[in-house]
A and B are shown apart, each in its own frame.
Chain A
């Protein structure tokens, strides 16, 4: 699958010198190709998360379109757009994102459960094996370390085998060993054909990326590899 942004921008209201708004993302064209790991770097506050949320269908852009294999995401109503995100776009959000009332295994199976389907335990366990937290299947999120929690989020984003995987600073608060594990997992997903976007304010991911963009004050600049 391929995700394409055409002239998307996002304006937020905020009082400054002359205006009461500013653009967190300025008109941007962008393609996220299948089977590649694309990286966007940039300082904190440069607009990376805003851009990622627009791509994921969670944040309607002020202008422009987001096309998922030609389907205009924001032309859809919330219901069908949510279904599409559930099926085709795996998102690893910033921060700690396990649901506290569910176990690790239940958390990972949740994307299926949301639409009344059940993920096979084997599938979910295989994924937990792969990210290395299989023995934590019955633990609750508040018993996990930051690295384990992030791996949980990755497993959960991957369980529906989405064509698109969007990761927002997935290594942000992790030590070196965990960072390498997470990046390796993203690389594996890309190699398996997924279109992977990695947003980070660090540079250590460069070795894993196929192409690297840089964002500054809402402006996305050139592909550098």
Chain B
């Protein structure tokens, strides 16, 4: 059962994409660790972390594409799931600091000592163990998505209304996490991390390993989503996107199909956030900013929604562009991003990958038509020659 699911998930494009991503997981760390700093192919450590960050963004965009591209649910709150996964990882990293904080408290993170708290809040228990934190990385976003989706999809909230309430959700979380008494470090968030799984988080080797982990997570998620969208389940998702009432009158419980995709997608976003935090070294409430969720939509649209490779390419290209652009003209980035979105919507409505696929399909059809034509011409010509 599982094997047939996996076999179906591999078509040529996916195999190539997975191979490229896993290749990067080996090559980039190797070029960083094994070459001398003055070697022409050397990848400096700061770039390893920057590329690692792009990979986590790519994973977030892939997660969004599963619900938006394949099921038509335009979530404008996916950054919330990303941030929750990030906070779960951040809590683990905070507790790894132990007595090395500025206040030297073995149990309480610095911000709690600063707030004069005497004991660890109950929801911080367990986060000293990596396995527990890792579980929470998927469980917390997954649970939130499940509960949120349960109510939204059952009451058939659709289209722009759904988008608005997802924005409201991330905004509410933003306000909540800003509060000091929530117990997540308030405004400053969680930072000053020391180690992860016993390794120094600043060390070159750890950075390389985090990059590789991000690439592997992206590759695995790509295989998972590909298996999902290629299965009968995935075809029904697309059916829900294109003709929801038809799926319903065929006897499918549309709300269950949406809920499953939404929950899986939120879990993937949580994993992305958890890999993002150790690479950038901080998580704060700013990650819940509604604008962040909208940016994810733009990456996905630029790359091509409803294709699996598109969001990955879109996330890397747009964020690469952002890094270059903000270095040169920091104040114009938002205009550039907005302009890009308008241009893509107008001229490449299917995004980069969708447009390329369209060309390829049309060329194939054209060739086939030409071949048919030639074949017909020959058969028609034969009787004439015989005469």
Whether chain B is bound by chain A comes out as no
Give the B-binding residues of A (Cβ under 8 A).
none
Give the A-binding residues of B (Cβ under 8 A).
none
